[in-house]
């Protein structure tokens, strides 16, 4: 058990010496590009600290998470566009509803 702890500490130290955690360079939206009609789906974006402003088009609606990095969107019957804005950065993603 002591050997495992030593290896774990060594790995953390090595990562720290090489620069440690590096934040993403681009704002992205993670989640499916295709969803089923009348389903709720989670989308997320991780970029910067701040208030995340999500918008959707078509007959989709944000049902939870506005202002955070993760939202739940209820899709209707039509294709939609999901957009997130944070820290003066914005990205959109087209979603096909099947």
Longest Cα–Cα distance of the chain, Å, equals: 57
Whole-number mean pLDDT of the chain? 82
pTM reported for the whole predicted model: 0.75
Confidence of residue 56 (pLDDT cuts 50, 70, 90): very high
DSSP H or E run through 82: strand 80-86
pLDDT digits (tens, 9 = 90+) for 21-34: 666 678 899 999 99
Confidence of residue 66 (pLDDT cuts 50, 70, 90): very high
Q: Taking 60 as the threshold, does the pLDDT of residue 38 lie above it?
A: yes
What superfamily in CATH does domain 23-97 come from?
Immunoglobulins (2.60.40.10)
Q: Taking 60 as the threshold, does the pLDDT of residue 11 lie above it?
A: no
Classify the C-alpha dihedral 48-53-59-63 as positive or negative: positive
Q: Bridge-partner residues for 95, per DSSP?
A: 80
Radius of gyration of the chain (CA): 18
């Amino acid at each position: 058990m002591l050997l495992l702890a030593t290896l774990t500490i060594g790995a953390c130290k090595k990562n720290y010496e090489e620069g440690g955690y590096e934040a993403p360079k681009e704002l992205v939206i993670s989640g499916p590009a295709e969803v089923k009609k009348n389903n709720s789906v989670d989308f997320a974006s991780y970029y910067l600290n701040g208030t995340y402003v999500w918008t959707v088009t078509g007959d989709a609606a944000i049902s939870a998470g506005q202002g955070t990095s993760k939202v739940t969107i209820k899709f209707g019957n039509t294709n939609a566009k999901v957009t997130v804005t944070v820290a003066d950065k914005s990205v959109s993603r087209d979603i096909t509803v099947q």
